[in-house]
Amino acid sequence: MKLDKNFFIDNLKTILYAGIIAITIRSLLIQPFYIPSSSMEPTLLVGDRLFVSKYSYGYSKHSLPFSPPIFNGRFLSTKPKTGDVVVFKTPSDNRTDYIKRLIGVPGDRIQFIDGNLYINNNEIFKDNISKSDIIYCGKEIIDVKTFTENLPNGKKHTSVYLKNYSYKNSDLFVVPEKHYFFLGDNRDCSKDSRYLSSVGYVHEDNLVGKAQFIFFSSDFRIASIFSFWKWNETIRLNRFFKKIK
């Protein structure tokens, strides 16, 4: 059977157009992400798959695949708000995606004193939800206290601390101009802006987008995805289309 060369050209065009559309959506509108660590538990669990809006804070080179150095700064920029759950590129390599909660904006003074979070010399009120919960820290299961934290702008979110508050006191962090300070909700199991050598303050150009909602969630630590007879245990239906707060 002889194939018309137009057949190959038409299919090549279809693939090319599909690729352009996919890259445009991923760069300008929404991008899916997978949660591989427990640093944001209980807000985000290992195995959550979520959509991040790329337009929420405007665009930088990190909005594009592989962060090509084709322009500097941000355009159509909108400032993030304290309490937002944000995906950003780590300052250490400008390549790795992290997801944390925004706690400090430029000029804010952040400090931990006796296990309590202070912003601009004001202690952040924590309402104790539970004195004994079990969550993950990597592969380890830990006992934590669960709180609702009330940020200065009225934003409320859930955070957890080890019962003995392993991270009790810190230096004073003063957020520089055009930078942000992030924490994981799993406070004693998160590499975040408290660790200046690995994460530290995040420049505004490194912001990728705002986490919006979970569209799929599974815990394949229980069983492989191919073990379909255990999907009732591994797939978390109650987390589908859950808005991220």
Q: What is the CATH number of the domain that holds 43?
A: 2.10.109.10
- Would you say residue 235 lies in a domain? yes
Q: Is 147 inside any structural domain?
A: yes
| Structural domains counted in the chain | 1
Give the model's pLDDT for residue 82: 97
39 is catalytic: yes
Does 207 fall in a domain? yes
Answer yes or no: are the C-beta atoms of 160 and 187 closer than 8 Å.
yes
Q: Is 100 a catalytic residue?
A: yes
The pTM of the full predicted model, rounded to 2 decimals, is 0.89
User: Where is average pLDDT lowest: 105-109, 155-159, 221-225?
Assistant: 221-225
The dihedral through the CA atoms of 194, 184, 104, 114 has a sign that is negative
User: Does 10 fall in a domain?
Assistant: no
Confidence band of 77 (pLDDT split at 50, 70, 90) = confident
Whether 8 is in a domain gets the answer no
Structural domain for 86, as ranges: 32-64+76-243
H helices of the chain, where? 5-28, 231-234
Residue 122 CB partners (closer than 8 Å, separation 6+): 152
Exactly one of 39, 63, 193, 218 is catalytic; name it.
39
Q: What is the mean pLDDT of the chain?
A: 89
Is it the case that residue 177 has pLDDT exceeding 70? yes
In a domain, 115, yes or no: yes
Position 20 in a domain: no
Pick 17 or 123 by higher pLDDT. 123
pLDDT in tens, 115-157: 999 999 999 999 999 888 889 998 899 999 999 999 999 999 9
3-state secondary structure (DSSP) of residue 58: coil
Catalytic residue among 100, 145, 159, 193: 100
- Asked whether residue 27 is assigned to any structural domain, the reply reads no
**5 confidence band (pLDDT: 50, 70, 90):** low
